[in-house]
Amino acid sequence: MFDTLLMANPAWYFFLLLLAGNGLGVSEDALAVWVGGLIGRGELLHPVPYYIGALYAGVVLSDTWTFLLGRFAHSMVGERLKKRVFRDPKKADRALLKIQKYGDKVGFVQRFSIGARLGIAFMAGFSGISLTKFVVGTMIGAGITLPLQLGLGYLMRAHISKAVELIRQYGWIGAVIVVGIFVLIIRKKLKHDID
């Protein structure tokens, strides 16, 4: 019955992706790979473009929702958090300005950050990056990552459960690498500005 439910309606995938934007343990990557496998096996109940459209819209809106939650959190606790993390408010403002300066690409970059999208999108919103630039970056990034995920599922259609499990087990490695690189870049820029 669960398999039938997952094949049934494209709106179901859209809804699951919105849950992912709230941090409710739904893997966007696994879901897209799963759909790619179903496409490969010809097991979808509706035309393929409906599923692709639902996945694409769900991914973009999910990331946008997470971004807006970060923006809301900043408006509620931003100043208090800056005072706790940074002793000097000027340093905090400089750090946020750096993130804003280089952060307009974060919508695109976070689409490639398996396992870290939620945190990256939230922090992008918290730092005050332009919503428009974030969404445009997310849309462009999703236009690249979604076909890759669907393609992986299509190629592994005979072993789709193994592909989904692989993503679940090893997705954190990609997240650590991307977040590590992002932190190193920001740290280097902040150190350069302080010196």
Give DSSP secondary structure letters for 92-111: HHHHHHHHHHHGGGHHHHHT
Number of domains in the chain: 1
φ and ψ at residue 172, rounded to 5 degrees: -65, -25
Q: Quick check: 186 pLDDT over 60?
A: no
Range of the structural domain that residue 154 is part of: 2-194
Among 17, 122, 7, which Cα is nearest to 60's?
A: 17
What span, in angstroms and rounded, lies between the C-alpha atoms of 61 and 162? 28
**pLDDT at position 45, please?**
80
Angle at which helix 117-127 crosses helix 89-102, to 10 degrees, equals: 120
For residue 8, the 8-state DSSP code is H
CB neighbour class for 158 (10 Å; exposed up to 12, middle 13-18, buried from 19)? exposed
Lowest mean pLDDT among 35-39, 47-51, 71-75, 181-185: 181-185
What's the mean per-residue pLDDT of the chain?
Answer: 76
Q: Quick check: 176 pLDDT over 70?
A: no
What span, in angstroms and rounded, lies between the C-alpha atoms of 20 and 14? 10
For residue 173, the 8-state DSSP code is H
Q: Quick check: 195 pLDDT over 60?
A: no
Q: Residues near 141 by Cβ (< 8 Å), separated by ≥ 6?
A: 107, 108, 109, 110, 111, 112
